[in-house]
Amino acid sequence: MNLIKNLNWRYATKKFDASRTINVLDLERLKEAVRLSVSSYGLQLYKVLIIENKEVREELRKASWDQSQITDASCLFVFCNYTHNYSHFVDNYIKLIAETQDTDHTGLTDYGNTIKDSISRMSREERKSWAEKQTYLALGNLIVACAELKLDACPMEGFDKQAYNRILGLDEMGLNASVIAPVGYRSIDDSSQFREKVRKPADQLFQTI
């Protein structure tokens, strides 16, 4: 199973080769892998920004405790969850189902109302947590796709979310920076790549009931 081999190959890259750039085809493959991610109800209540602009990334690096991955990777994926107006996104999703599956839109109304009701019963903090969790599902697909393409990535929570929101103008778009991942090619000087992967043994991690 090549997937297992590739997952053993990958690691959270600490130092990228700033001279190497991901080709257009591989970038499109990564985007498609993220697009096909699972999400609660299938809503995909997030937007993914791919930051290539060097000046913007220099600003974001300052908001990421000066971690070099932000500027040295080929690009930076910023996963942003929507923060409000969920009913609007549910309506758009129901419309998309009807168009994609050639189904009567009116027959999906009850389903849409069920989703809206479920969201409305969440507290503000529960909605925030729920929306942010969806971005991590998409991040998982990105990490696996990178491993398959022999691209390097480093999922990161070590950044100032409010600063990212300000720099990227996310508040005005109803978005919040949730988690980020620089993507590119590992540097030969990154000593982390030579460390043995550390994971719990299967008999400690899994239990069959």
Q: Output the pLDDT for position 107.
A: 80
Cα→Cα distances 47→40, 42, 207, Å: 15, 14, 36
Average pLDDT, the chain: 97
Model pLDDT for residues 82-98, shown as the tens digit of each residue = 999 999 999 999 999 99
Res 153 pLDDT > 90: yes
In whole angstroms, what is the distance from residue 117 CA to residue 102 CA? 25
Angle between helices 124-148 and 24-35 (to 10 degrees): 140
Model pLDDT for residues 94-130, shown as the tens digit of each residue = 999 999 999 887 789 999 999 999 999 999 999 999 9
In sequence order, the β-bridge partners of residue 78 are: 49, 180
Model pLDDT for residues 26-48, shown as the tens digit of each residue = 999 999 999 999 999 999 999 99
| Bigger pLDDT: 107 vs 17 | 17
Fold of 2-88+124-205: NADH Oxidase (3.40.109)
Res 192 pLDDT > 90: yes
Residues 6+ apart with CB under 8 A from 185: 16, 17, 20, 22, 74, 151, 152
Q: What is the DSSP string of the chain?
A: -HHHHHHHH--B-SSB-TT----HHHHHHHHHHHHT---GGG---EEEEEE--HHHHHHHHHTTTT-THHHHSSEEEEEEEE-S-HHHHHHHHHHHHHHHTT--GGGGHHHHHHHHHHHHTS-HHHHHHHHHHHHHHHHHHHHHHHHHTT-EE--B--S-HHHHHHHTTTGGGTEEEEEEEEEE-B-TT-GGGGSPP----HHHH----
Domain boundaries, the chain: 2-88+124-205
Q: How many CB atoms lie within 10 A of CB 8?
A: 11
